[in-house]
Amino acid sequence: MKTYIKKLALIALVFGVIQSCTVEEFSDLNNPEVDAFSESLTRGDLQDLIGGVLFSSRAGLGTYYDDVAVVGREYYRFSSSDPRFTTDLLGGDASVLDNNTFYITTPWGARYRTVKNANIILDILDAQSGSNLFTAQEIEATRGYLRTWIANELLLNLNLTYEEGIRLEVADENNLGPFVSRTEALAGIRNILDQGAMELQNGGGNFPFRLTSGYDGFDTPATFRQVNRGLAARVAAYQEDFTGVLSLLGESFMNMDGSAASLNTGLYHVFSEAPTDLINPLFFALNSSSAGVRVAQPLFLTEAEAGDTRLSKIAMRDEAITFAELTGTHDFFLYTDREAPLSVIRNEELILLAAEANINTNPTAAIAALDLIRMSAGLPAYAGATDQASLVQEMLNQRRYSLYGEGHRWVDIRRYDMLDTLPIDRVERQDADGNTIQADDVWMNFPIPLTENQ
């Protein structure tokens, strides 16, 4: 008995000692941690971090383009599982835009996610001074690349909130800058682009990372700078700084040869079906049902000039489709498969920016640029009035068809203060019981997301 007790006491002691061990502390077993990169950045690390920007700059784009195109009455987005595309976005009956619904929160958050991804890399780069793994030029080129993307992402968000503005200063997540007005935001974005252009200028011959095929022709600091200048020209146009537009276009990749190939030259987002990748969010198969389909707003077809080849961007459905009292006969078919690239900026827009910038000062040059676009679309040269208002009308119309579904129509018509010219598809009417259903509304802007606590 006594020996038993001794043995048991011994077991208890051993057991107790084992028990009193401290517990193991685990790192994140599933994902790389942000802090892991702060010290020595390798070339492989930088490639992965840049890859993050390539990825996140495409996230949420489907919602962004749907927002701009639906509010701008380019196409309808039917979704039987989400009615808000046809209620809120079109202002159906009494519905309004909500400040905490996916149509604003998803794209808004995704764009700032890219900005944060880029800012994290900028911070890491700042900590690499004296690194012998990168040349000063490579670091400069990387900064220019990142700043160009930051500016692009901020501009897309500003397109949604417009006069409500955006936050410009977001590098310090614990101390966010204030919301600034549209004017201030545009100036800030242009500054970021200018700074990026400077850095790209000093960035030597090559980026220290690989890019996708969407960058073909723009994968060096010098050529990517032409994209940066093109984006700056877009911003200048939004600022109505037309002199600036023209000088920026001169430094961009604008090419006036008028061939279809050159019109499509530009920077693209690319997609693949790899499960860790994204597919083109704007592709639906032809004749999709109302479970999920984009249907061209009928006026896009009926208001087109005869013979406009740009109508190939829509495709006739086997049967017309009706959903939520909206009917269309043609599918939006700008993207014909799930891996179709999606343009960030391309030459056709630059030419139209040149036309727009010249309307005031050099109408002849403006008409020449418009004609270049018209002829590439299979249309005769412009024969209308050449007063400023008529030319603006023509320019907006060409932008409507040339840049259909690419996120411009609503933005353009808004900056010319012509939102009231957009069609109202569902007018005031009575339901079967005699109650009034209000007409649709055309929105000026999306509200700032609720979670910004403004």
Task: Please report, as residue ranges, which positions from 290 to 309 form the binding site for another protein (by CB under 8 A).
Answer: 290-292
Nearer to another protein, 158 or 395 (CB): 158
* Residue with token string 């018509």: 413
Q: Determine, following the binding rule CB under 8 A, whether residue 29 of this chain makes contact with another protein.
A: yes
To another protein, the closest distance from the beta carbon of 178 in angstroms equals 11
Q: What token pair was written down for 434?
A: 């005699």
Between 73 and 167, name the residue whose CB sits nearer to another protein. 167
Q: Which residues contact 105 (CB under 8 A, 6 or more apart)?
A: 449, 451
In the complex with another protein, the residue whose CB is nearer, 72 or 449, is: 449
What is 267-293 written as a DSSP string? EEE----STTS---TT---TT--TTSE
Dist. CA 31–CA 46, nearest whole Å:
16
d(CA 10, CA 183): 79
Q: Which residue has the tokens 């109508």?
A: 311
- The 8-class DSSP code of residue 95 comes to -
Does residue 426 interact with another protein by CB under 8 A? no
- Which residue stretch of 95-103, 133-141, 223-231, 390-398 sits at the interface with another protein (rule: CB under 8 A)? 95-103
Q: Is 2 exposed, middle or buried (0-12, 13-18, 19+ CB in 10 A)?
A: exposed
Please choose, from the candidates 454, 453, 451, the residue with its C-alpha nearest in 3D space to the C-alpha of residue 102: 451
| Alpha helices, DSSP H, located in 162-289 | 182-201, 221-238, 242-251, 260-264
Binding mask of the shown chain, residues 326 to 345, with x at each position contacting another protein by CB under 8 A: -x----------x-------
Least gap, CB of 431 to another protein (angstroms): 6
Q: How far is the CB of 307 from another protein (least distance, A)?
A: 30
Quick check: helix, strand or coil at residue 166?
strand
Interaction pattern, residues 167-196, with another protein; x per rule: CB under 8 A: x--x--x--x--------------------
Nearer to another protein, 28 or 417 (CB): 28
How far apart, in whole angstroms, are the C-alpha atoms of residue 352 and residue 343? 15
Nearer to another protein, 284 or 404 (CB): 284
Binds another protein by CB under 8 A, chosen from 119, 152, 220, 262: 119
Q: Which of 23, 261, 306, 383 binds another protein (CB under 8 A)?
A: 23
Say whether 343 sits in a helix, a strand or coil.
Answer: strand
Tell me how far apart the terminal alpha carbons of the chain are, to the nearest angstrom.
76
Residues 258-277 close enough to bind another protein by CB under 8 A? 270-277
Among 127, 320, 375, 418, binds another protein (CB under 8 A): 320
β-strand 293-296 against 314-323: which pairing, if any? unpaired
Choose between 35 and 417: whose C-beta lies nearer to another protein.
Answer: 35
Judged by CB under 8 A, which of 212, 239, 360, 362 binds another protein?
212
Which CB atom, from 164 or from 394, has the smaller least distance to another protein? Answer: 164
Judged by CB under 8 A, which stretch of 73-81, 217-225, 343-351, 384-392 contacts another protein? 73-81
Note whether 39 binds another protein by CB under 8 A: no
Length of the chain: 454
Q: Which of 75, 283, 300, 333 binds another protein (CB under 8 A)?
A: 283
CB of 75 to another protein, least distance (A): 16
Name the minimum Å distance from CB 46 to another protein.
11
Size of the site for another protein (CB under 8 A): 112
From residue 344 to residue 383, what is the string marking binding to another protein with x (rule CB under 8 A)?
----------------------------------------
Query: Which of these segments, 29-37, 189-197, 374-382, 413-421, binds another protein (CB under 8 A)?
Result: 29-37
Q: In this chain, which stretch among 108-116, 125-133, 373-381, 417-425 interacts with another protein, using CB under 8 A?
A: 108-116
Q: Considering all CA atoms of the chain, what is the largest pairwise distance in Å, rounded to the nearest integer?
A: 115
Distance CA 312, CA 22 (A): 68
Residue 424 burial (CB < 10 Å; 0-12/13-18/19+)? middle
Q: How many CB atoms lie within 10 A of CB 44?
A: 9
